[in-house]
Structure 1
Amino acid sequence: MIVDISSEAVERPAYLICKYGGYYRPNSQGYTGSAIVAGRYTQAEAKDITHPNGPKGPRDGMTYIHEDEVMDEDWQFHRAILHGQAERIEELEAENGILRTEKNADAEAIGALREEIDRFLEDRPFVIGWNDGFEHGVKEALRTLHEQWRENSAVKEAAILALIEGDTND
């Protein structure tokens, strides 16, 4: 059996159940005056709960409303915060992608340099004493390059952490 979980097939619970000015809590466990704390239900669940006596029977003062239609000021403020956080997450994910791409490019460049140095050393017959000195210089150059790469990566990582924590110099 194949189960369709596309956006058309799966409804996100987004309906609040209202009764005499209050909202049902999650799992229909009591009432709250806060749309933030209120439970969220699919439209089918909301219809079933608010029509306990059938589609034409008494509704016992119950209605349901989509969360986008809730006019409660606290809820509107809460949604604005959530929206801002979602936008920030998207920005950070994009920044993370860029930094990962740069890190991969840096790693590829270091690998290419190492291959080039290995080819250079294999192609050159040196006098033993001079070769040892040259090889030492190459190793020192590679160490310096590696340290610079690590420092640059640490700076990038610190910048990402600062962005995540909201610590910017704006």
Structure 2
Amino acid sequence: MTQGPVILEVSVSYALPRAGLPSSASFRKWVAAALHGRIREADLAVRIVDTKEGRALNRHYRGKDYATNVLSFPAEMAEGVKMPKGVKMPLLGDLVLCAPVVAREAKEQKKALAAHYAHLTVHGALHLLGWNHEDDREAEAMEQLEREILAELGIDDPYAFED
């Protein structure tokens, strides 16, 4: 594990009105918590989108014709991304959160909206670091790490509603 503070550059953009959505400072805090001790330096973008854009991205990149809560696009997986020799850029990737889906899920799961955004931001950031949940063992490990990170932020277990 990497020690010390993360040198973090997080760009947050909103593709819809910001009323009722977390601030860019909140997203930066949640990303920093997810990356702390796991990476030394990172540059990433967070984009908050509507259902139309979320659906289009999910359809184009994952072949699924619906809007989903969070999409993670690791930089190393982007087609044609090659840095010139000698250039060391800490580009981690992009996160896309679909505001209407996040709001609907928070309501259905009886969670505070900000807590659900925090969870999905942490979840997405861990995907950018290579964490996955393709099988039960990976899912359990990733979920446990998410619980620990969120607990440090004072946020309850995001998976408690499933029990």
Q: TM-score, normalised by structure 2?
A: 0.24
Larger % of strand: which? Answer: 2
Q: TM-score, normalised by structure 1?
A: 0.23
Larger % of helix: which? Answer: 1
Higher relative contact order (CA 8 A, sep 6+): 2
